[in-house]
Amino acid sequence: MKKVSYLFIARWVATSFALCVFVIQLLDVSNAQPPKRIVSDQRLADLDRFARAQIKSGQFGNIAYGLWQGGELLLSGFHGPIQPHGAESVSANTIYRIYSMTKPVTAAGLMILHERGHFELDDPITTVLPEFTDIEVVADYDENDRLFTYRPPSAPTFRQLLSHSAGFAYQSADRSPIDRKYIAMRAVEAPTGDEFVARIASVPLMRTPGSEWHYSFASDLQGVIIERLTGESLHAFLKREIFDRLAMQDTGFFVDDSNIDRISAVSRQGTGTLVYDPIDNLSEAHQSQTFYEGGHGLMSTLEDYHRFLELLRRGGRSGAVEILSPESVEALTTNAIHYQGTPAPQRGYGTQAGLGYGFGVSIIENSQVAGLSAPKGTYYWYGAMGTWFWVDPKNEIVFVGMIQTHDPIAPDMIAATMARVYGADTQLTQTAAAP
């Protein structure tokens, strides 16, 4: 009997202890303090004045933007009509072509498959894309774009593909003979991912894999890898694994007919006025005539894209939904560009001093050197028609901006909006030591 009493007491103590721990954890969550607000009302007003001024000056037709801290909306602005001379203003649900802001989404999709054991980051991509088994690298070329090549020491890896250091080129006519060959073969017009890979694999790499950062078709190849590993389209995979789970109902590679009137017009500078493009055919039937481009094919809204960025800011979790592990998010948002075996915090990539590059995003390694006001560790990217974003993990800030224009924009919208959010407060930026 005495033995039973002792056992009962022991169990009661253990249960009580567990209950206390649970209550303490619950109190910790309920008493969790929101992050200290770092953006003054004056800065918020200045940010909105800046946004309005861009419309008033006639740079582009409309702008939508949002600034969040700790998941709380601090400010949003919606200026200009959805369509030229229209009565309806843009909103958080206006649909924009986000172009290269597709890249971090595709990278996140590939990291989901990495977590499921489909590949290791340092495996060669030839395990899924055997077309590149015997690929060569350009050593030199003459005035007629005749190429002289050599065999690289190793095939590109998944890590290099994710960080755009695998050696591929893109499609800029003034860059290299490889870019020009991509254009001549109409690589982006390939009807399927397999045909796209065949076209890319028919010419050499522009750089030795792993030697340096080179903006490229790497994200489009990531999309093909996703399709081959899953046996489904890139659209179907991203919709099921990311968009549906985050309630990103207006994000995808095509737009339903019922939502045509929500698509923002695209402007360009005319003679003293803006000229607008006709509305593209963004239907599923038309968009599916070519492969789904993992590098620049998505359309989205301010509200939807914020949901995706909040997922990254929260370490891969949105409420009860976990899409990525914190380790995967860290890999995606940490500088992956290496020179002589170590990260290069000053040179970053290309000629962009003070920056690094992760998996589809640029990373601020030194704010002063980079000339950007956001703190070290902030990651950002943008799209060819003017959309842009940044995530500041230190201050729990997310910013998304949406415009649609063919023209170069001055001032640079990323730098300009960062400056209005952070000002010149060096304690907020916490820059690394100057080189």
Torsion-angle region of 27 (φ positive above 0: left; ψ -120 to 50: alpha; else: beta): alpha
Residues contacting residue 6 through CB under 8 Å, at least 6 positions apart: none
Residues contacting residue 424 through CB under 8 Å, at least 6 positions apart: 373
Q: pLDDT tens digits, residue range 308-318?
A: 999 999 999 99
> Looking at per-residue confidence, does 260 or 15 come out higher?
260
pTM summary value:
0.89
Q: pLDDT tens digits, residue range 279-315?
A: 889 999 999 999 999 999 999 999 999 999 999 999 9
Q: What is the pLDDT of residue 35?
A: 79
Report how far residue 140's alpha carbon sits from residue 119's, in angstroms, rounded to the nearest whole number: 33
Here the tokens at position 169 are 């080129």
* C-beta separation of 347 from 366 below 8 A: no
> Looking at per-residue confidence, does 430 or 111 come out higher?
111
Q: What is the pLDDT of residue 27?
A: 42
> Looking at per-residue confidence, does 14 or 154 come out higher?
154
Report how far residue 161's alpha carbon sits from residue 294's, in angstroms, rounded to the nearest whole number: 12
Q: pLDDT tens digits, residue range 210-222?
A: 988 989 999 999 9
For the chain, what are the domain ranges? 41-105+246-429, 109-230
Q: What is the pLDDT of residue 359?
A: 98
Q: pLDDT tens digits, residue range 83-110?
A: 998 889 999 999 999 999 999 999 999 9
Which architecture does CATH list for 41-105+246-429?
3-Layer(aba) Sandwich (3.40)
Q: pLDDT tens digits, residue range 380-390?
A: 999 999 999 99
Residues contacting residue 252 through CB under 8 Å, at least 6 positions apart: 235, 238, 239, 243, 298, 299
* C-beta separation of 255 from 279 below 8 A: no
The string of DSSP letters for 306-337 reads HHHHHHHHTTSEETTEE-S-HHHHHHHTS---
From the centroid of its chain, how far is CA 408?
Answer: 20
Q: pLDDT tens digits, residue range 222-232?
A: 999 999 999 99
Helix 218-230 / helix 193-201 crossing angle, nearest 10 deg: 130
One-letter amino acid of 373 = S
* C-beta separation of 367 from 376 below 8 A: yes
pLDDT average, residue stretch 242-253: 98
